């Protein structure tokens, strides 16, 4: 059995979106699972719409997701000589021919067929004329007049297409550029691609591509057409469902491992398991469990899965991903032990890295901004003495540890005859400016003794 060779061939006419990322992921996972090769090919034959900005955005998104490639990126427009050689081979073997029919003549043929109740298509006028290449001519593939072309599909099963429904389609335009179906087949063939997993919106192209493979006397690759991703309302996924570019999800604070975990589950299953690490996906991914039903994109499920991935990571792993979000808030944090401690306190409650960065803000400012309602409720004249005594007691501890803080709190509770919550909430407001924060002991330890004492005393002065 030949080693698996898969590919991802995005068109650089925009950013990488969720559907494209899922296609890349399926091919990448299968190559990694089997020890095969994953090739990146940029299909930039639509030169009017293709841009370098889109190329850069696609590469950047793949790199962020951790989808690395073994070969490429290749660019389709730089392979014209290879495409031309194969087109000439098809002409020489009698499987293709030059056609001089004008667009107006083609329109007339289609109207004539339509008037007779037939499918509007090219009537094969130039098929047997033996024309040579000339200005304005195109090259067409000779397609069978009868029978069926069967697409063998590991996801959908066999799908048959009536050959009589296909006309002799163009494989080279009049300007000399190859058509999409020809370029795709030649590139896949010459790059050794033997496994193609793609969206089922490409299924309509596959019988034409199979006819080109057969005309070139080449073996067919394994085809797998996966259903499209739909929104919760079962309509085609759009921005209103959350179908933004991959880079948008990065900016919204999603982890790449969470994104690939969610995407792979939109078309593949392994029992009832929902949470996968990257290594688990590589280990368990297979083609037989690709689903035949459309995946339903649910942003709330994606957020919940992201929260689980945040909780599963070590704090040191998260620090690197968090720093850009802190910088967005004007916080110049470092990849150090302090930021690691901050992350540890926020992991259990953070759904995204944006959430985490916003919750971390109080750690990095000199004086936290006070929420007026919280201050009015908890920083009262009755709490002044408790706050001052707590600050003095914390300042006096020789070792700033959780057991030491617990002893301080016990003594304050006894001295003021207050329950833990009556002490913790004013202290939380004093230190963070709000009533919502990580656990009180973890937070105070991360903040450090000096800042803790300073903030409590400041709050007591505000009362």
Residue 301 is among the residues annotated as catalytic for this protein: no
Q: At 395, list the tokens.
A: 């300042």
Total domain count for the chain? Answer: 4
Cβ proximity of 10 and 75 under 8 Å: no
Place of tokens 């841009």: 51
DSSP 167-195: ---EEE-TTSPBPHHHHHHHHHHHTT--E
- Residue 433 domain flag: yes
Note whether 324 and 284 are same-domain residues: no
Half-sphere exposure of 323 (CA within 13 A, CB side): 12
pLDDT of residue 284: 97
Structure tokens at 274: 């929902």
> Using an 8 Å Cβ cutoff, are 309 and 301 in contact?
no
**Rg of the chain over all Cα atoms, to the nearest angstrom:** 31
Give the helix/strand (H/E) hosting 197: strand 195-199
Q: Measured at the alpha carbon of residue 246, what is the angle toward residues 281 and 255, in degrees to the nearest 5?
A: 55
Among all chains, which residue has been given the structure tokens 């590589």? 282
**pLDDT attached to residue 437:** 86
Distance of CA 283 to the CA centre of its chain: 20
Specify the DSSP element, H or E, that contains 74: strand 71-75
| Nearest CA among 157, 286, 152, 155 for reference residue 225 | 155
pLDDT of residue 293: 87
Same domain, 162 and 194: no
In a domain, 391, yes or no: yes
The answer to whether 261 and 234 are in contact (CB under 8 A) is no
Nearest to 228 by CA among 243, 210, 209, 249: 243
Q: Are residues 145 and 288 in the same domain?
A: no
Contact 13, 54 (CB under 8 A): yes
In a domain, 220, yes or no: yes
* Residues 352 and 442 grouped into a single domain: yes
Spell out the alpha helix ranges (H) of 67-201.
Answer: 80-92, 103-115, 180-190
Last residue of a domain, one of 266, 281, 312: 312
- The candidate with the shortest Cα–Cα distance to 297, out of 24, 18, 10, 8, is 18
- For the beta carbon of residue 210, count every other beta carbon within 10 angstroms: 20
Confidence (pLDDT) at 240: 62
Which neighbouring-strand residues pair with 224?
A: 197
77 in a structural domain: no
Judge if 411 and 324 occupy the same domain: yes
Question: Is there a single domain that holds both residue 308 and residue 321?
Answer: no
Q: What is the CATH number of the domain that holds 225?
A: 3.40.50.620
Kindly report the pTM of this predicted structure: 0.91
* Domain shared by 302 and 402, yes or no: no
Take residue 385 and report the two structure tokens written for it.
Answer: 């003495």
In the chain, count H helices and then E strands. 19, 12
Q: Find the length of the chain.
A: 463
Q: Whole-angstrom Cα distance, residue 31 to residue 38?
A: 6
- Report in angstroms the alpha-carbon separations of 173 from 82, 84, 86, 103, 136: 16, 11, 14, 12, 9
Examine the fold and report which residue of 172, 191, 207 is the final residue of a domain before the chain moves on.
172
Is residue 340 in some structural domain?
Answer: yes
Same domain (yes/no): 214, 104: no
CATH number at residue 92: 3.90.800.10
The answer to whether residues 209 and 326 belong to one domain is no
Mean pLDDT by 10 residues, the chain (463 residues): 94 92 97 98 90 96 98 96 98 98 94 90 94 96 96 96 95 96 98 97 96 98 93 71 80 97 95 96 96 89 97 96 96 95 96 97 92 92 94 96 96 95 94 92 96 96 88
Question: Domain of 404: which CATH number?
Answer: 1.10.10.350
Tell me, yes or no, whether 363 and 455 share the same domain: yes
Element (H, E) at 141: strand 138-141
- Rounded to an integer, what distance in angstroms lies between the CA atom of residue 405 and that of residue 390? 10
Are both 377 and 458 inside the same structural domain? Answer: yes
In a domain, 425, yes or no: yes
The active-site residue, picked from 119, 133, 239, 373, is 239
Query: Domain of 345?
Result: 315-462
Upstream peptide bond of 33 is cis (omega within 30 degrees of 0): no
- Do both 332 and 420 map to the same domain? yes
């Amino acid at each position: 059995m030949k080693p698996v060779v898969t590919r991802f061939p995005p068109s650089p006419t925009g950013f990488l979106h969720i559907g494209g990322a899922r296609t890349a992921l399926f091919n990448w996972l299968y190559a990694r699972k089997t020890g095969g090769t994953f090739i990146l090919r940029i299909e930039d034959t639509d030169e009017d719409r293709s841009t370098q900005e889109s190329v850069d955005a696609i590469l950047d998104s793949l790199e962020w997701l951790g989808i690395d490639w073994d070969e490429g990126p290749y660019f389709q427009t730089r392979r014209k000589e290879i495409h031309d050689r194969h087109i000439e081979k098809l002409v020489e073997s009698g499987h293709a021919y030059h056609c001089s029919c004008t667009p107006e003549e083609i329109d007339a043929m289609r109207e004539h067929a339509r008037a007779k109740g037939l499918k509007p298509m090219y009537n094969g006028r130039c098929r047997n004329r033996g024309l040579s290449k000339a200005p304005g001519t195109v090259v067409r593939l000779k397609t069978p007049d009868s029978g069926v072309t069967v697409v063998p599909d590991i996801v959908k099963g066999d799908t048959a297409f009536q050959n009589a429904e296909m006309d002799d389609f163009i494989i080279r335009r009049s300007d000399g550029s190859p058509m999409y179906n020809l370029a795709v087949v030649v590139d896949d063939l010459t790059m050794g691609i033997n496994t193609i997993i793609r969206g089922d919106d490409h299924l309509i192209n596959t019988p034409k591509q199979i006819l080109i493979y057969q005309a070139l006397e080449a073996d067919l690759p394994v085809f797998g057409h996966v259903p499209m991703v739909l929104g919760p309302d079962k309509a085609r996924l759009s921005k209103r469902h959350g179908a933004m570019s991959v880079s948008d999800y990065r900016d919204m604070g999603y982890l790449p491992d969470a994104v690939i975990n969610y995407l792979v589950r939109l078309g593949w299953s392994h029992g009832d398991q929902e949470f996968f690490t990257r290594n688990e996906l590589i280990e368990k991914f297979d083609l037989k469990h690709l689903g035949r039903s459309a995946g339903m994109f649910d942003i709330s499920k994606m957020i919940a899965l992201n929260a689980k991935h945040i909780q599963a990571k070590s704090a040191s792993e998260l620090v690197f991903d968090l720093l850009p979000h802190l910088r967005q808030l004007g916080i110049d944090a470092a990849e150090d032990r302090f930021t690691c401690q901050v992350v540890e306190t926020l992991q259990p409650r953070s759904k995204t890295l944006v959430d985490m960065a916003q919750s971390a803000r109080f750690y990095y400012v000199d004086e936290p901004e006070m929420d007026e309602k919280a201050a009015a409720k908890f920083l009262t004249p009755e709490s002044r003495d408790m706050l001052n005594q707590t600050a003095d007691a914390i300042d006096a501890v020789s070792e700033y540890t959780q057991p030491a803080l617990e002893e301080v709190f016990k003594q304050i509770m006894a001295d003021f005859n207050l329950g833990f919550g009556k002490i913790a909430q004013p202290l939380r407001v004093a230190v963070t400016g709000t009533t919502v924060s990580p656990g009180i002991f973890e937070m105070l330890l991360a903040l450090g003794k000096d800042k803790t004492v300073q903030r409590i005393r400041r709050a007591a002065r505000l009362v």
